[in-house]
Structure 1
Amino acid sequence: MRKFVLLLLVGLLITPLADATKKKIYVWRNADGVLVFSDSPQPDVKSDTVDVSSTPNIVKSVDTAILENKSGPAQEEKLKVEILKPAQEETIRDNSGSVYISGAIKPSFKRGLSVVLKLDDKKVKGPQKSAVFILRNVDRGEHKVQLEVWNSSGKVIAVSDPVTFFLHRGSVN
């Protein structure tokens, strides 16, 4: 009799453990069309079931070697700098003489780099961490802008093509 009770208890204990490894998830859409997930079915709602095992999901480690910069300082990545605004030979009409310069650096702007703006071959702004500049009170006429990218030691590592623009300021005369 003891053996029978013992076998009965073991059987009752094993059944929930086997059941714990497989669970059902009920899935349906509510009145708003939102997908709803629940561990219990809803009455009067047509739902699909998804069997879920409780075994842990083990994800293999990801190789992050591509994120590390394995090239030394002598092998810096080739950057490309370009001026997006103003366009080549664009006429800007602004009586205050304000000019907005916007540039892009590709493939990406890295830590330690800075940008310098040159207007008519003279450094006028920078170094700064952004390739967007605002010039104020620029004289009317033809001007040339160019962007330079500097590394952390102040060495020029990339230069944009020069962009020529024309500034038109209204005259009182």
Structure 2
Amino acid sequence: MRKFVLLLLICLFASQSYASANKKVYVWRNADGVIVFSDSPKADVNADTVDISTTPNIIKSVDTKIIEGTEQPAKDKISIDIVKPTIDETIRDNTGSVYISGAIRPSFKRGLSVVLKLDDKKVKGPQKSAVFILRDVDRGEHRIQLEVWNDSGKVIAVSKPVTFFVHRASVNSPN
């Protein structure tokens, strides 16, 4: 019952202004057994007092400079890494197909594109994803690197180079 009374008190006085905080509230039951709340005591009734010492819920102001356009947000530094193939991986494919996958951090944004370099020569791109498929890659050692370009064609990020090997079976040496 006390919890109910307390909950009822909070509900009734939640909309009170800050000026009414830290005031006393008087609670008693009338002749019909109904609970009565008042800000002034009744002379002929033994009323309980409840101190309300809560401060109003005030939400701190929010910085709206970004919405208003008065302050430019800090640009995140873009980075790119080659996920597949891994360093010194041997790819065994008789067609010479190589699947290349990159990861851009923090995220791929509008206006960015990716270029693939194979053995220091641009072979694919610019394109809007960091996934490439190369066909008919010769046997042997190769080096790949990914570049991220902005919308004006400027290189803004370069991956570390990854060396991999292509193994293609031949008639002369099937292993």
Counterpart for residue 133 of structure 1: 132
Q: 1:65 to 1:133 in 2, by over 3 A?
A: farther
What is aligned with 1:8? Answer: none
> Is it true that 1:108 corresponds to 2:99 in the alignment?
no
What amino acid does structure 1 have at the position aligned with 2:72? Answer: S
The gaps in structure 1 that reach 5 residues or longer are: 1-60
* Structure whose CA Rg is larger: 2
TM-score, structure 1 normalization? 0.59
Number of equivalent positions: 112
The 3 A distance-change label for structure 1 pair 107 and 162 is same
Matched AA of 2:153: G
**Per-residue deviation, 1:167:** 0.3
Hey, what does 1:154 align to over in structure 2?
A: 153
How big is each residue's C-alpha offset from its partner over 1:145-164, in whole Å with a ceiling of 9 and x where there is no partner? 00000000000000000000
Q: 1:132 to 1:87 in 2, by over 3 A?
A: same
**Aligned-pair CA distance for 1:71:** 3.4
Distance of aligned partners of 1:92 and 1:152 in 2 relative to their CA distance in 1, 3 Å threshold: same
The one-letter amino acid paired with 1:158 is A
Q: Counterparts of 1:164 and 1:155 in 2: how far apart (Å)?
A: 25
The structure 1 segments of at least 4 consecutive aligned residues displaced by more than 2 Å after TM superposition are: 61-72
| Structure 1 residues 67 and 98: alpha-carbon distance in aligned structure 2, compared to 1, 3 A threshold | farther
Change beyond 3 A, Cα 1:68–1:104: farther
Cα distance in 1 for partners of 2:155, 2:143 equals 19
Aligned equivalents of 2:158 and 2:98: distance in 1? 20
Report the Cα distance in structure 2 between the residues aligned to 1:68 and 1:168, rounded to whole angstroms: 58
Per the alignment, in what secondary structure is the counterpart of residue 167 of structure 1?
strand
Give secondary structure in 1 for the equivalent of 2:111: coil
Amino acid at match of 1:82: D
Alignment partners' CA distance in 2, 1:143 and 1:116: 16
Deviations 1:128-171 (A, max 9, x none): 00000000000010000000000000000000000000000001
Question: Identity, % of aligned pairs?
Answer: 77
Rounded Cα–Cα distance in structure 2 between residues aligned with 1:151 and 1:118: 17
Q: Offset at 1:80?
A: 1.1
- Residue type of the alignment partner of 2:129: S
Question: Are 1:85 and 2:84 an aligned pair?
Answer: yes
TM-score, normalising length: structure 2? 0.58
